[in-house]
Structure 1
Amino acid sequence: MDLHNTSDPVASKPEELVPSRYAVQVGEIDVLVVSDGVLPLPTTMLAHNAAPADRATWLHDMFLPSDAFDWALNAVMVRSGGKTVLIDAGLGSDPNLNLPRAGQLIKRLEAAGIDLASVTDLVLTHMHMDHIGGLLVDGVKERLRKDLRIHVAAAEVKFWESPDFTRTNMPQGFPDALRSAAKRFVKEYGSQLRQFDEKHEVAPGVVVRRTGGHTPGHSVVRVASGGDALTFAGDAVFAVGFDQPDWHNGFEHDPEEAARVRIRLLRELAQTGEMLVATHLPFPSVGRVAVEGDAFRWVPVFWDY
């Protein structure tokens, strides 16, 4: 698997004239951030507990539209100790939700020269559709290894047996789509699930840890080698969460706990100075965290060419 930053503008199609993968070296571990596309969502999803005027001010200050904008969708590929680990699997395809610019992960892995059969392990930060759907696309399962190990928190699997959406604030159609995707995923891949309670080492230097909050089994993945480290935070951190970590995201099943998890994680990252990648931060999402009083600041890395 070649994780170098490469591009071929001559061969690119017009709709692909944007970056879609970015390589990072973490000690001896290769990391590749891959874009699954973008997900257009109402801006109320950013902070349904905030006053509309406060939310509008934040959007204005960030030069973002007031009604809806495109959320990034990022997944990560890691190579360590002879293992090739995919962290989250993207949205896949759900025609009922009309999201044509998302669900690009599989073709972008192919464009990066990554054979799906080379993936030995899959880590799920949680089982929302935009993290598992790529494996539900027709024809994908047949291209995966029969012995693929899928690592997920036991609390997450338990939650999706009877999920509670009473404290979320999602657009119409999303709860049903999320339920359906999770149920189908367990049906198709249940025998390959490797459930853990709190913490589990997937490959040398690649450790997944349950945080809860966003969903009961939500987890983050820390990659560490040779004094370097990078944490993939899944949906624990959103762009607005640096300035306003107490604002509730519409997809959070326990908003108060999600805010506590977010603040704790951001403080940890600010203290260690290690890199952060998250699902819905603008691609390639690689940055660090600075703390300023009760608020945080995202510091994007300078791209390494």
Structure 2
Amino acid sequence: MSQAEMRKAQPTSQQEAYIGVQATRPSSKLGRDELVPSRYALRMGEIDVLVISDGVLPLPTEMLAHNAEPAIRAAWLDNMFLPPDAFDWPLNAVVVWSGDQTILLDAGLGLDPDLNLPRAGQLVRRLEAAGVDLGSVTDVVLTHLHMDHIGGLLVDGVKDRVRPDMRIHVAAAEVKFWEAPDFSHTAMPPGFPDALRSAAKRFTKEYRTHLRLFADEHEVAPGVVVRRTGGHTPGHSVIHVSSGGEGLTFAGDAVFAVGFDQPDWHNGFEHDPEEAARVRIRLLRELAASGDLLIATHLPFPSVGRVAVEGEAFRWVPVFWDY
């Protein structure tokens, strides 16, 4: 059955659409290590969206706000019932079906044994469990080239399984930045700068012929537009999905969980923290005004919600899950 025929056969509610996606894409039985859901489906007009969890990434809590007073940061963590020293950051990627195109938004962490992150890098396996064949992916859109957004494509054997004509859309400024990356304003745990540098170098070498570079904005498919924001990295981008009067933004690393209450706090992975804060505030104001849905890489799975304004700060409003 073609993608167009599938759409005609699918009902209109999110619940029925989810059942339809499951029915047309066989899934494996869940083992005891998969008791927590790892995918969530929704529909934006004529576009199907599937959020996939790539697992979790344990990081020190000071990474959330290295410019904040430790006592203030500790109070925020306590108020959020989070541990004081380290906690698991979610990792989310998204699959979008628009027309005849199957589009992957970011590619997860992959495998880096030197960093000992066994619960991350689940994307390829979970795509398979959701019935998404790597060979069906026509386009990949990358928010940026940090390894937790490209690593899934560097897993052994993955490149042999993707389409030879698969297009990878990424901002030209991002590729340029990783030719000689500047980590002077970051505050990362030991080992991460070298791992990020190595992954970006390997990725651009292995997928050079697949890259489709854009300057500021580019339409990937009908209703799917990627826009460079900068900040987190010089070429960091967000992807807007719109159809049938509905909108959704995949914000990559422009927004973290703490960014609603404290949008000025600097994340340790931001290469230009001050610009990243400006980008974050501008994006959150846009989303609050439009009412569009927001998904971000490091918000709790499935990371689907809306933004409300709370004085000088913002409020995250998660969607009610549609079963």
TM-score by length of 1: 0.98
The structural deviation recorded for 1:11 is 2.4
Structure 2 residues not aligned, in runs of 5+:
7-16
C-alpha RMSD over aligned residues: 1.5
- CA deviation map 1:21-59 (0-9, x unaligned): 000111110000000000000000000000000000000
Output the CA distance in 1 between the equivalents of 2:138 and 2:18.
Answer: 20
Aligned twin of 2:205 = 187
Q: Tell me the matched-pair count.
A: 305
Q: Equivalent residue of 2:203, what SS?
A: helix
Q: Equivalent residue of 1:284, what SS?
A: coil
Matched, 1:95 2:109: no
Aligned twin of 1:15 = 33
Aligned twin of 2:18 = 4
Aligned twin of 1:35 = 53
Matched, 1:80 2:98: yes
Q: Equivalent residue of 2:18, what SS?
A: coil
Matched, 1:48 2:66: yes
* Correspondent of 1:229 among 247, 266, 271: 247
Aligned twin of 2:192 = 174
Q: Which amino acid aligns with 1:100?
A: P
Aligned twin of 1:114 = 132
Q: Equivalent residue of 2:102, what SS?
A: strand
Aligned twin of 1:66 = 84
Identity %: 77
The structural deviation recorded for 1:10 is 9.4
The structural deviation recorded for 1:12 is 1.1
Aligned twin of 1:152 = 170
* Correspondent of 1:286 among 304, 309, 313: 304
Output the CA distance in 2 between the equivalents of 1:39 and 1:10.
Answer: 24
- CA deviation map 1:211-257 (0-9, x unaligned): 00000000000000010000000000000000000000000000000
Aligned twin of 1:300 = 318
Output the CA distance in 1 between the equivalents of 2:287 and 2:97.
Answer: 22
Aligned twin of 1:197 = 215
Q: Equivalent residue of 1:12, what SS?
A: coil
TM-score by length of 2: 0.93
Matched, 1:273 2:291: yes
Q: Would the aligned equivalents of 1:90 and 1:103 in 2 still touch at CA under 8 Å?
A: yes
Q: Which amino acid aligns with 1:294?
A: E
Q: Equivalent residue of 2:297, what SS?
A: coil
Q: Which amino acid aligns with 1:228?
A: E
Q: Equivalent residue of 1:304, what SS?
A: coil
- Greater Cα shift, 289-298 or 1-10: 1-10
- Greater Cα shift, 58-67 or 3-12: 3-12
The structural deviation recorded for 1:9 is 11
Matched, 1:216 2:229: no
Q: Equivalent residue of 2:164, what SS?
A: coil
Matched, 1:140 2:164: no
Q: Which 4+ stretches in 1 moved above 3 angstroms?
A: 5-10
Structure 1 residues not aligned, in runs of 5+:
none
Output the CA distance in 2 between the equivalents of 1:4 and 1:159.
Answer: 39
Evaluate the alpha carbon distance shift between residue 80 and residue 10 of structure 1 in structure 2; reply closer, same or farther with a 3 A threshold.
closer
The structural deviation recorded for 1:259 is 0.1
Q: Equivalent residue of 2:94, what SS?
A: strand
- CA deviation map 1:164-219 (0-9, x unaligned): 00000000000000000000001100111000000000000000000000000000
Q: Would the aligned equivalents of 1:237 and 1:278 in 2 still touch at CA under 8 Å?
A: yes
